[in-house]
């Protein structure tokens, strides 16, 4: 179905990468459903989308709730009559060694990072099948492919999201629904407040040293990639997991960096 503006749903769009993508989509005239648990950041993002020339709908929801995908997609579809792009961006994250992990945190990672994206796609399918340019963009992480002590729950949820990306890309290709993922490296967003404790500066210094380009990414850099992946330039791309990580997952990169520093 032809529309005069794209209809986009972005989870976790009150802050960070999701908010940046929402602003950029808004600047292109898109209608954006913004989803998260806290209303205030969502309202801030909605105001920025509208100031940039787009339309916004605030949808407070907890993606750990199995009922959330139906509620979220229904609200967007009722408001604008369709859905073209789903950005599965929200994530649960908690660093714990396996000896200290809890079932509650394990289940939360799977519910928010894997189950919710999967069922958002299921709920969105009738609308995506009617869209002129349908796509799903999953936000993974370099942690989905690197073996990082303490990140087994988060990392395996992201690896599962990458598998979903590939398998759904193949399954939904007959309807020209593209499914891709972006795997960011360290990006300067509020997510690090959840695990870095009092030493955020120290955590940033350590993360920069893990990246060949020796810096954190910005939310805007990631947002631009999300919008690009949804756009016509990428219409022959599906099933891809694109690292936007300053080279973090390059084989041998970490030992090369530490070798340089030692020398």
Ligand X SMILES: NC(=O)c1ccc[n+]([C@@H]2O[C@H](COP(=O)([O-])OP(=O)(O)OC[C@H]3O[C@@H](n4cnc5c(N)ncnc54)[C@H](OP(=O)(O)O)[C@@H]3O)[C@@H](O)[C@H]2O)c1
Could you list the residues that contact ligand X (CB under 6 A)?
11-12, 14-18, 36-38, 41, 62-64, 89-93, 112, 139, 141, 184, 186-187, 189-191
Closer to ligand X by CB, 131 or 192: give it: 192
CB-side exposure of 112: number of CA atoms within 13 Å? 22
CB 15 within 8 A of CB 37: no
Tell me the closest approach of the beta carbon of residue 138 to ligand X, in angstroms. 9
Closest CA to 40 of 66, 68, 19, 67: 19
Tell me the closest approach of the beta carbon of residue 106 to ligand X, in angstroms. 15
Tell me the closest approach of the beta carbon of residue 175 to ligand X, in angstroms. 25
Lookup: tokens for 251: 């084989």
Catalytic option among 118, 154, 163, 204: 154
1: burial class by Cβ within 10 Å (0-12, 13-18, 19+)? exposed
Question: What is the per-residue burial (b if ≥16 Cβ within 10 Å, else e) of 91-113?
Answer: bbbbbbeeeeeeeebbebbbbbb
Catalytic residue status for 204? no
| Terminal Cα-to-Cα distance of the chain (whole angstroms) | 60
Closer to ligand X by CB, 83 or 114: give it: 114
Closer to ligand X by CB, 131 or 219: give it: 219
Closer to ligand X by CB, 64 or 133: give it: 64
Tell me the closest approach of the beta carbon of residue 184 to ligand X, in angstroms. 4
- Nearest-CB residue to ligand X? 16
Catalytic positions are: 154
């Amino acid at each position: 179905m032809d529309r005069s503006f794209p209809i986009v749903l972005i989870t976790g769009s009150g802050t960070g990468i999701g908010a940046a993508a929402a602003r950029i989509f808004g600047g292109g005239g898109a209608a954006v459903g913004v989803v998260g648990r806290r209303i205030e950041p969502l309202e801030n993002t909605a105001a920025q989308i509208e100031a940039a020339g787009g339309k916004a709908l605030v949808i407070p929801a907890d993606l750990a709730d199995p009922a959330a995908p139906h509620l979220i997609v229904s609200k967007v579809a009722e408001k604008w009559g369709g859905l073209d792009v789903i950005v599965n961006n929200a994530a649960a994250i908690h660093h714990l060694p396996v000896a200290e992990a809890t079932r509650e945190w394990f289940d939360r990672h799977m519910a928010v990072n894997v189950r919710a994206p999967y069922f958002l796609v299921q709920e969105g399918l009738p609308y995506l099948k009617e869209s002129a340019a349908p796509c799903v963009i999953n936000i993974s992480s370099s942690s989905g492919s690197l073996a990082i002590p303490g990140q087994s729950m988060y990392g395996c949820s992201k690896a599962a999201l990458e598998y979903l990306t590939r398998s759904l890309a193949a399954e939904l290709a007959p309807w020209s629904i593209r499914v891709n993922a972006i795997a960011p490296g360290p990006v300067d967003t509020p997510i690090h407040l959840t695990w870095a404790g009092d030493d955020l500066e120290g955590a940033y210094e350590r993360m920069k040293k893990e990246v060949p380009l020796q810096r954190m990414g910005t939310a805007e850099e990631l947002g631009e990639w999300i919008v690009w992946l949804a756009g016509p330039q990428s219409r022959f791309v599906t099933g891809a997991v694109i690292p936007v990580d300053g080279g973090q997952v390059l084989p041998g990169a970490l030992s090369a960096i530490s070798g340089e520093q030692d020398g």
